[in-house]
A and B are shown apart, each in its own frame.
Chain A
């Protein structure tokens, strides 16, 4: 009987041990790792469906004032499983990994008639504009390189990063479609193939270089989610590794895009068409500590004082950076802002528009900026293409004031007219104005 007793004891002991394992799992759920004691429910008003993402992601920053957490929640934009309380299950079906603005999923994540794929006349077509913009298609660079190496004779672009069509052409230079560049790469001249292999890391759909200083996310977040030099997260979400690169600094979208964000792509070095290689700048400190002037201006560059004081977005309005909804072949087809846009010419004041309708996109754009103070009836400067530089306001018959979008600093814009400036209105290139107005840089 002793043998029997031991068998029973062993079996009962095993069951007790199994029950203890189950009890442990019950009392130590996965989210306990992040400090939560109980599931944290959130019922966003837009969906009315409970989601429990904040159980682990507690403390995460609200994405933006335009997307209040109480209204949007997490799942509307990020996808995923709202009821799951374990990482793998909860993240099943997540749109774009951690970045729902990646162009492969942006329509599902950010789209919708009321959201960012609405009508163009209400300026709600952000997805259409950004996915057809030169920053996404890279069509201008591809066309220029192909032309330089004899693969095409005319400057018009035919190829983009991915195939894209535009059914609604609104400008004289708009293209109906672009074919995917890689699809034709096999028949291209050798240098163009090399270009295709090595030089396609700077567009909105590219895999960003995993190096300090080159940290940006794909899609809308490339510009609208600010990254730091290391690409590390510095917010309050306990689930995100603070030493891991590839993150935005905060879980926040912004229209106040500092020059440093543009720099992550636009000012890190140069692609050489001679050896088809990217040559990184060597004059920058490797820890990201370069000051504003050094960070922006490469050695021997010429610039004026206003360029250093302002941020890129102070002069380049949304339509220039995000595109105007058309597919273009060259940068100058969308970039129409010049020095004279704000400073005028010897005989003319800047072009302006009085904001007479409350549907004017300038009013909505300005409402997203805490420094802006724009009201119906105000007059703002417009680019030759008609896009409002809503931060440059006409405050008197010959007085124009600029509010810097990022710093909020106010400036009175010096006008050419009556100043003794010898500007030739047709000469607006960088070298023309810099001939007199360049500041020294060592």
Chain B
């Protein structure tokens, strides 16, 4: 007996048979979740390619990146794609989080997936930070110093966290292997698990958040159309990554000397807000307390902070508290980042 024709292929099968047309529109999702998955995959594949040349020891790390950048055929492109896909991933994932918050996507039993997404976002930030550190050039020194010293301030666990991150009593050559271990395994494994879990949970929760009252009358699009749109978005985003990698290659300076950290270099953009916060007051309060409080606030959004019911559209009227909170925090983050960038 021949297998039935027109059965969905593997890629189609990763998608639901159909989704509501209104929530499949670009102006609703901005394509951010899908783009995040795409950027994650580009980052993972390009990262895997970099593993073939990168040397995670202090004496050779920087030189091995020079080798990738200047002597491995198209090494510069792979490194550029890795860098830009990672930056794009943090941006897309962050905006996705905002989109979900501002459309009430965490409602109707989707609280756990909101937590998974939040956790995934933190893992991605850590991956971005450790990846930045793997550059092991002069420029990373200050951010590495400030970032790892912050860990020390975590109540009770501080010293253990610090030792786990830097691989010794202080920042040194052993820290590079720690950064490497965390980056390619310690963070990538949970990231991969969380990505799959997040997507699985999305299907289990009934697909993209939409209004349940609309029922079966809602117009829906077939998965083939969804895949088509995703492919288009990937082509656009892929072209953008290639252009960015070609025209704005990631910076690279001479090797880091962990003993003599230069103070004149500035932090990576995603770290600027921490720097600015630290200027405002007590490091434990500003560097640990405040970010943890914000994180807790975000985690509590589906668990008590928000009691609204409306789903599937921007800025539902019964979610003003969460919307104001998220927008205010975003503005605060943006201001701190801009202040840091302009300093």
Smallest CB gap from A89: residue in B: B252
Q: Is B71 an interface residue (CB 8 A)?
A: yes
Provide the residues of chain A in CB contact with B63, threshold 8 Å.
Answer: 82-83
Contact pattern, B 255-274, Cβ under 8 Å of A = 1, otherwise 0: 10000000000000000000
Instruction: Report Cα–Cα, A176/B96, bound state, in Å.
Output: 68
Inter-chain contacts of A89 with B (CB < 8 A): 66, 69-70, 251-253
Chain A residues with Cβ below 8 Å from B76 are 25
Taking a contact as CB atoms under 8 Å apart, the answer to whether A84 and B70 are in contact is yes
Query: Which listed residue, B66, B71, B232, B247, touches A7 by the CB 8 Å rule?
Result: B232
- Interface SS majority for chain B: helix
Bound complex: CA of A12 vs CA of B63, how far in Å?
A: 36
User: Is B278 at the interface (CB under 8 A from chain A)?
Assistant: no
Let me know if B232 and A8 touch, CB within 8 A: yes
- Given A11-B236, A52-B70, A89-B66, A84 and B242 contact (CB-CB distance below 8 Å): no
Q: Flag if A84 contacts B235 (CB, 8 Å).
A: no
Q: Mark A73-88, 1 if CB is under 8 A from B, else 0.
A: 0000001111111100
In the docked arrangement, what's the CA distance between A89 and B251, Å? Answer: 8
User: Is B107 positioned at the interface, with any CB of A under 8 Å from its CB?
Assistant: no
Q: A83-B63, A89-B252, A92-B254 are contacts. A18–B246 as well, Cβ < 8 Å?
A: yes
A17 to B235, CA, bound (A): 12
Question: B residues within 8 A CB of A7?
Answer: 232
Minimal beta-carbon separation of B258 from chain A (angstroms)? 15
* B238 part of interface (Cβ distance < 8 Å): yes
Knowing A83-B71, A93-B138, say if A22 contacts B252 (CB, 8 Å).
Answer: no
Known: A22-B77, A92-B253. A84 touches B240 (CB 8 A): no
Q: Which residues of B contact A84 (CB under 8 A)?
A: 66, 69-70, 252
What's the minimum C-beta distance from B303 to chain A, rounded to whole angstroms?
Answer: 41
**B208 interface hit (Cβ, 8 Å):** no
Question: Cβ of B67 < 8 Å from any Cβ of A?
Answer: yes
Establish whether residues A11 and B242, one from each chain, have CB atoms under 8 Å apart when the complex forms. no
Question: Which of B77, B138, B228, B235 has the most chain A CB within a 10 Å cutoff?
Answer: B235
Task: Give the complex CA separation of A110 and B66 in angstroms.
Answer: 25
Q: Flag if A18 contacts B240 (CB, 8 Å).
A: yes
| Contact status B242-A39, CB under 8 Å | no
Q: Which of A14, A83, A85 contacts B235 (CB 8 A)?
A: A14
Task: State in angstroms the CA–CA spacing of A89 and B138 once bound together.
Answer: 11
Is A154 in contact with chain B by the CB < 8 A criterion? Answer: no
The reply to whether A92 and B242 contact each other, CB–CB distance below 8 Å, is no
**Contact among A21, A80, A85 with B70 in the assembled complex (CB-CB below 8 Å):** A85
Counting CB contacts under 8 A, is A15 at the interface?
A: yes
Would B242 and A18 count as touching, CB distance under 8 A?
Answer: yes
Question: Which residues 239-298 in B have Cβ within 8 Å of A in the complex?
Answer: 239-240, 242-243, 245-247, 251-255
The residue on A at minimum CB distance from B247 is A21
What residues of chain A lie closer than 8 Å to B173, measured between beta carbons? none
Q: B236 to A14, Cβ gap below 8 A?
A: yes
Docked CA distance A24–B62 (Å): 26
Residues of chain A having any CB pair with chain B under 8 Å: 4, 7-8, 11-12, 14-15, 17-19, 21-22, 24-26, 39, 52, 79-86, 89, 92-93
**7 A–B contact pairs at CB < 8 A?**
A11-B232, A15-B235, A18-B242, A19-B242, A83-B67, A92-B252, A92-B254
Can you list the 5 inter-chain pairs with the closest CB atoms, starting with the nearest?
Answer: A93-B254, A83-B66, A18-B242, A11-B235, A18-B239
